[in-house]
Amino acid sequence: MVDSQFLAAMAGGLKPALVAVRRDIHAHPELSLQEERTSRLVADRLAGLGLDEVRHGVGGFGVVAVLKGGQPGPVVAWRADMDAVPIDDGLQTPYRSRVPGVKHCCGHDAHTAIGLGIAEILARVRKDLPGTVKFIFQPAEEPALGARAMIAAGVLRDPHPEVIFACHAFPLPAGQCGLGPGTNLPPLDDVRVVLRDARGISTPRRRQEARERCAAAVRGLSDVRLPDSIEAFDELLAAVIRGDARLIKAIEIGFSPQVAGMGGGDCDLVGVARAADPAGRAALPGRVRALLDQVLGGTGLDYELQWQQVVPATANDPILTAEVTPAAEAAVGPGNLIPFRAPLPVGSEDFAVFQQELPGVLFWLGVANRDAGIPAMLHTPTFDIDEESLVVGCRLGAGVILDYCRRHRPV
Ligand SMILES: [Zn+2]
């Protein structure tokens, strides 16, 4: 009988292999669109598991594998991402990054290891699996390009999955998992301002002053402070768990005037905006215009505002979230499934692009262990994970997939 205890035992037995593969990937991180070695490692491992189909080169360095269970049932997808971040490794671990300036500090090494672990577990119990599982290993999550590229390359066809799952490393304690219905991360908008000097009366100094004043004024629209310390993160997490109304309505917008004229091409200000609440988001360009009108009034400068969505909201399908909750709780144990009731105002995930195509759920997998000196703050040079979380992630993924397949098999 394949139950949660059986899966837990299997995932536990895989721990040495999971740790080895995660450390291998961690030591050899590859930036977005350059995941050649990682994707080869993934494709080789999947081929060794005897899956029914392994394809690589799907939408760049994407890899997709299909596992057909021994009984009829639905098609379910699990997605993992593989790219690293342009940050120096600030830790002296045995598995330290061997690539200067590049580190897996968003946990994608762990996501990849977990995806392989789930594939191994489900391959071993395939005769008891009612359905088909598609494993999607995507490149280029950080610039939000990989999901779109893989979808354009047909990753959701032949066979077409009816639901998709993924997990992302999160600074909760290892052993816990955050899960919430609806918007988990707001959409990410790219915002640019081009200043125009129609009358030719401005000087470079005045123009720079105008940029700085515009940036400061627009920043004032933000009503959420991004966590810059562990204490601030704890406060934010508590607000997410209790469903703080301010987070549901939160707006975060910022320009980087130092980027002006450098990374932004011809733009004077380049920034990003996040607002989870659709009405708040719709009103935001108008509020920015009002501020720019005010700041630039009398300076002789005019402006053009460019506003473009880069990543949609990461939003868990509410029905599917409710449906998978018991299996997720069984996988992590009572009390370890932490309900998220408000969106996180930080970050984006291009899993959102898959969620626009089909119902999907993203699990926030706890990877921290503060007693062991692992606060696991994402995108920091000292990021690391408690590797027990690899086992938890496999238990969770295999448990949720198997449970979904069983409940949706033909009667
Ligand atoms: Zn990430």
CATH number, position 222: 3.30.70
Structure confidence at residue 85 (pLDDT): 96
Other Cβ atoms closer than 10 A to 72: 12
Q: Percent of the chain having pLDDT more than 70?
A: 97
Threshold 0.75, pTM exceeds: yes
Gap from CA of 411 to ligand 1 centroid (Å): 39
Beta strands in 53-105 (DSSP E): 53-56, 63-68, 71-81
Split at pLDDT 50, 70, 90, the class of 200 is confident
Gap from CA of 167 to ligand 1 centroid (Å): 10
Mean per-residue pLDDT, 188-201: 87
Range of the structural domain that residue 299 is part of: 188-231+241-311
Residue 59 forms part of a structural domain: yes
224 and 339: one domain?
no
Structure confidence at residue 265 (pLDDT): 59
259 and 398: one domain?
no
Gap from CA of 196 to ligand 1 centroid (Å): 37
287 and 342: one domain?
no
Gap from CA of 349 to ligand 1 centroid (Å): 6
- Give the CA dihedral 121, 317, 350, 404, nearest 10 degrees: 10
248 and 277: one domain?
yes
In sequence order, which ranges of 198-308 are alpha helices (DSSP H)?
204-219, 230-242, 245-248, 278-296
Gap from CA of 208 to ligand 1 centroid (Å): 34
Tokens of 92: 């002296």
Q: For residue 381, how far is the Cα from the chain centroid? A: 18
- Rounded CA-CA distance 169/159 in Å is 28
Gap from CA of 253 to ligand 1 centroid (Å): 20
226 and 285: one domain?
yes
123 and 37: one domain?
yes
Gap from CA of 110 to ligand 1 centroid (Å): 10
Residue 299 forms part of a structural domain: yes
11 and 150: one domain?
yes
- From 311, 330, 346, the end of a domain falls on 311
Tokens of 45: 């491992």
Gap from CA of 259 to ligand 1 centroid (Å): 23
Gap from CA of 177 to ligand 1 centroid (Å): 16
279 and 386: one domain?
no
Gap from CA of 14 to ligand 1 centroid (Å): 24
378 and 388: one domain?
yes
Split at pLDDT 50, 70, 90, the class of 205 is confident
Gap from CA of 379 to ligand 1 centroid (Å): 9
Structure confidence at residue 89 (pLDDT): 96
- Rounded CA-CA distance 348/363 in Å is 14
Domain CATH for 322: 3.40.630.10
Q: Is the dihedral of CA 23, 28, 29, 30 positive or negative?
A: negative
67 and 214: one domain?
no
Gap from CA of 55 to ligand 1 centroid (Å): 23
The letter for the amino acid at 133 is V
Residue 236 forms part of a structural domain: no
The yes-or-no verdict on residue 403 having pLDDT over 80 is: yes
Structure confidence at residue 261 (pLDDT): 44
Gap from CA of 169 to ligand 1 centroid (Å): 7
| Range picked from 167-171, 194-198, 260-264, 300-304 for highest mean pLDDT | 167-171
Gap from CA of 142 to ligand 1 centroid (Å): 7
Structure confidence at residue 257 (pLDDT): 60
- Rounded CA-CA distance 26/4 in Å is 29
Gap from CA of 186 to ligand 1 centroid (Å): 15
Tokens of 130: 């009612």
Closest-CA residue to 6 (of 352, 399, 313, 297): 399
Residue 336 forms part of a structural domain: yes
Structure confidence at residue 258 (pLDDT): 52
What total number of domains does the chain contain?
2
175 and 202: one domain?
no
Q: For residue 179, how far is the Cα from the chain centroid? A: 14
Gap from CA of 358 to ligand 1 centroid (Å): 20
Gap from CA of 100 to ligand 1 centroid (Å): 20
- From 311, 336, 360, the end of a domain falls on 311
**pLDDT for 210-250, tens place per residue?**
999 999 999 999 988 778 889 999 999 999 999 999 999 99
Closest-CA residue to 111 (of 400, 404, 362): 362
Residue 306 forms part of a structural domain: yes
Residue 376 forms part of a structural domain: yes
- From 268, 296, 311, the end of a domain falls on 311
Starting from the edge strand earliest in sequence, which strands make up the sheet with 337-339, in order? 53-56, 63-68, 130-138, 71-81, 163-173, 360-368, 177-179, 337-339
Chain-wide mean pLDDT for the chain?
94
Gap from CA of 268 to ligand 1 centroid (Å): 29
Gap from CA of 108 to ligand 1 centroid (Å): 6
Structure confidence at residue 259 (pLDDT): 47
Residue 246 forms part of a structural domain: yes
36 and 181: one domain?
yes
Gap from CA of 54 to ligand 1 centroid (Å): 24
Residue 175 forms part of a structural domain: yes
Cβ proximity of 311 and 353 under 8 Å: yes
Tokens of 61: 């360095």
Tokens of 332: 């992590």
Gap from CA of 37 to ligand 1 centroid (Å): 19
- Rounded CA-CA distance 348/396 in Å is 22
Split at pLDDT 50, 70, 90, the class of 347 is confident
